[in-house]
Amino acid sequence: MPRPPRSRGSPLTHSRARSRASSLTLPAGAIALALLLSGCGGARVDAGAAATPAGGSESCVDTSGDTVKIGFLNSLSGTMAISEQTVRDSLDLAAEEINAGGGVLGKQLEVVAEDGASEPTVFAEKAEKLISSDCVAAVFGGWTSSSRKAMLPVFESNDALLFYPVQYEGLESSPNIYYTGATTNQQIVPGMDYLKEQGRTKVFLVGSDYVFPQTANKIINAYAEANGIEIVGEEYAPLGHTDFSTIVTKLKASGADAVFNTLNGDSNVAFFKEYKNVGLTPDSAPVVSVSIAEEEVGGIGVENVEGQLTAWNYYQTVDNPANTTFVEAFKAKYGDDRVTSDPMEAAYTSLYLWKGMVEKAESFVPDDVNAAADGVTFEAPEGTVTVNGDNHHIAKTALIGKIGADGLIHTEWSSDGAIEPDPYLEGYDWAADLS
């Protein structure tokens, strides 16, 4: 697999060079909605375009006492709750562990939790509340790219920090977001590399109809054209969609020998049941999924996805001491029947990375945290991760896994060590026109 050089920092990555912004010419929620409607999924985000600074008021974060507030913002209702509840659980575990170990800079973490309700505009509104009313030092959460893009102008206008834990489509960076899930060259490209190595040359694309799948599939199309792979179909369904008879009929008729799946949430249940109903199998047309982890396997039904493939950076079955401790702690808190997964591990890791950055900076101020971020490491359950201070992503090891009869995902292939994040795919000639 190509090892691209460290990404060049965009103007966004130098937050100290821009002035603080405390208010907007439009309400943050309105700007977030406008951003969503503009269809900017693959565009490099411009901090200056998101908001017009109109003041210079100081942050309301209070660090004078023995506590500091942080915000957790996840969907506990709506179509994404099947995935995001486990992220909230892992964040709670990390906060409890950190507090038990003495907190951050000697201060106990006081959690303010909100429900994003699977709606991007709600995420933007709750982010504004957490920053401006609850006065949190950082926010941890979000899942869909639509939720992240809705929140992005809110964080940039308030000069606040969001730690986003989920793999995504890349082609973005912000001085106010740390992306602790995989970017494109750490998940999507390895997934396609694996299919190519397995001799799969006719790929069908199915995804939810929003930013991440649409942009991911633009990248996959570019990869396919450069690597002798034919894209034999590309279909989208609304989030929460449950009738996949038409899409799966097209899939079966396409002659595909593999499927790349970017469906999110509970749509996966209906898709895989229909896939099985028409006689498709992991041998005839294996599905590589990038949004199905251990938690979703249980919701879909292992009988519907056994033998299917996933592309992530962490599985519960990863064999190292840090993961053994993590899995044991999670099960002790939530029950032996619970499983761990990539997004929840990335969320858990994000809280520890923030702790490391704050303690290196000896400050909770976002500009100070950003200045200290580069090179901060954590011995995470997935392995050693390191923050790239230029693009606010982290180095991660890519894993291709197969879903077993036990409902767990077992590694089939692993990259040779951690891959440096390359969100704009600058190390790949075939991606030159994407960003």
> CA angle 40-43-48, nearest 5°?
90
Determine the Cα–Cα distance for residues 161 and 402; give it in Å rounded to an integer: 35
Q: Are residues 415 and 361 in the same domain?
A: no
With 0-12 / 13-18 / 19 or more C-beta atoms within 10 angstroms meaning exposed / middle / buried, residue 427 is middle
Q: What is the pLDDT of residue 12?
A: 36
Whether residue 4 lies inside any domain: the answer is no
Phi–psi pair at 114, nearest 5 degrees: -135, 155
Q: Determine which helix (DSSP H) or strand (DSSP E) holds 291, and give its type and residue range.
A: none
Q: What is the pLDDT of residue 14?
A: 30
Q: Are residues 287 and 139 in the same domain?
A: no
Q: Are residues 371 and 414 in the same domain?
A: no
Determine the Cα–Cα distance for residues 314 and 396; give it in Å rounded to an integer: 9
Q: What is the pLDDT of residue 79?
A: 86
Pairing of strands 287-289, 258-262: parallel
Q: Are residues 295 and 328 in the same domain?
A: no
Whether residue 104 lies inside any domain: the answer is yes
Determine the Cα–Cα distance for residues 229 and 244; give it in Å rounded to an integer: 25
Decide: 348 and 90 in contact? Cβ < 8 Å: yes
CATH number assigned to the domain comprising residue 178: 3.40.50.2300
Q: Are residues 198 and 178 in the same domain?
A: no
Both ends of the chain: CA-CA distance in Å? 21
Q: What is the pLDDT of residue 265?
A: 83
151: number of CA atoms within 13 Å, CB side?
A: 34
Q: Are residues 381 and 417 in the same domain?
A: no
Per the listing, tokens 């995420």 go with: 123
Q: Residue 298 corresponds to which tokens in the numbers above?
A: 């249980």
Question: 165 lies in which domain range?
Answer: 11-182+324-395
Q: What is the pLDDT of residue 255?
A: 97
Helix, strand, or coil (residue 73): strand
Q: Are residues 178 and 189 in the same domain?
A: no
Q: Residue 310 corresponds to which tokens in the numbers above?
A: 């996933």
Q: What is the pLDDT along the chain (435 residues), one digit of tens a residue?
A: 433 333 333 333 333 222 223 233 333 444 343 333 333 333 333 333 322 333 344 789 999 999 999 999 999 999 889 889 999 999 999 999 999 999 999 999 999 999 999 999 999 999 999 999 999 999 999 999 999 999 999 999 999 999 999 999 999 999 999 999 999 999 999 999 999 999 999 999 999 998 999 999 999 999 999 999 999 999 999 988 999 999 999 999 999 999 999 998 889 999 999 999 999 999 999 999 999 999 889 989 999 999 999 999 999 999 999 999 999 999 999 999 999 999 999 999 999 999 999 999 999 999 999 999 999 999 999 999 999 999 999 999 999 999 999 999 999 999 999 999 999 999 999 999 996
Determine the Cα–Cα distance for residues 182 and 166; give it in Å rounded to an integer: 7
Determine the Cα–Cα distance for residues 240 and 277; give it in Å rounded to an integer: 20
Q: What is the pLDDT of residue 420?
A: 97
* Packing angle of the helix pair 145-158, 120-128 (nearest 10 deg): 20
Decide: 179 and 423 in contact? Cβ < 8 Å: yes
Whether residue 3 lies inside any domain: the answer is no
Q: Are residues 365 and 348 in the same domain?
A: yes
Determine the Cα–Cα distance for residues 116 and 80; give it in Å rounded to an integer: 9
Determine the Cα–Cα distance for residues 292 and 340; give it in Å rounded to an integer: 12
